[in-house]
Amino acid sequence: MEDLTVILTASIDVKGMIFTERSDPCEREQDYINALSQWMKTGLPIVFCENSGYDLSKIHEMTSSYNKIEILQFDGQKFDKSLGKGFGEQEILHFIAENSILFSLSKKIIKVTGRYYLKNIKQFEGSSNTVNGVSAILKKNLTFSDSRVIISTPEFITDYFFLYASRINDKNGYYFEHALSQAIHKYMADSGEWIMLPHYPIISGYSGTSNTKINSIVKDFKRKIFYSLKLWLCK
């Protein structure tokens, strides 16, 4: 069993996906390469799953020496694009759950949007034993969960998140984040344990929605202080 496995969801060619400003396949491919190069330095097991059928030869080449990685791919862009990228991402998670050996052998997973790197991953790795069910940031009166970074057992994904995932419809305003939030509430109602992320996630990369760079030293510092205060108040 692996204590913690990194799950990276990927879509290189978004093929006209709505609400996606960073849509150039070459830029997105480089984003994934940049992120993977950082993730491999952690020594953690990695599952990378891509859903557009884009040529992965560069990614296979740059990960060939890393023996703790599964690279999965499937043709997952046939759904109505008005459903949005969140619908595509939940299909990626379905594919991982059904096909990944590492996923099935993991005690915990940390799901991260594949073009991002979590700069304070060592903190999260050290705190993963405090997560007994699911850990995510809930917002907007607990109705919306940040989906960029999630720590959970594989069973939370398969037994709870998938109950709501098929309802995702960006055009109608029901996002991945709403499905995740509802899954967490259902999990808690069944006596499962949810906690806020044990640390503020310091992310590097580009937002797919706005095509803007995410990491900012000043903003990260302010948000980290605010998040630490929030955790203290919650406790």
DSSP assignment of 136-190, as one string?
--EETTTTEE--SEEEE-HHHIIIIIHHHHTT-BGGGTB-HHHHHHHHHHHHHHT
Local confidence band at 67 (pLDDT 50, 70, 90 cut-offs) = very high
pLDDT at 218 over 60: no
- Domain-wise residue ranges, the chain: 2-234
Across the range 196-221, mean pLDDT stands at 82
Q: Which residues pair with 46 in a beta bridge?
A: 6, 69
Assign residue 84 a region (left: φ > 0; alpha: ψ between -120 and 50; beta: otherwise). Answer: left
Residue among 132, 48, 136 at smallest CA distance from 93: 48
Across the range 154-161, mean pLDDT stands at 98
State the average pLDDT for the chain. 93
pLDDT at 19 over 90: no
pLDDT recorded at residue 207: 87
Tokens at 95, concatenated: 């594919």
Range with the lowest mean pLDDT among 56-65, 176-185, 191-200, 219-228? 219-228
CA 150, CA 194: separation in Å to the nearest integer? Answer: 11
Whole-structure pTM value: 0.92
Reduced to 3 states (helix: H, G, I; strand: E, B; else coil), residue 27 is helix
pLDDT recorded at residue 209: 84
pLDDT recorded at residue 222: 72
User: What's the topology of domain 2-234?
Assistant: Spore Coat Polysaccharide Biosynthesis Protein SpsA; Chain A (3.90.550)
pLDDT at 183 over 80: yes
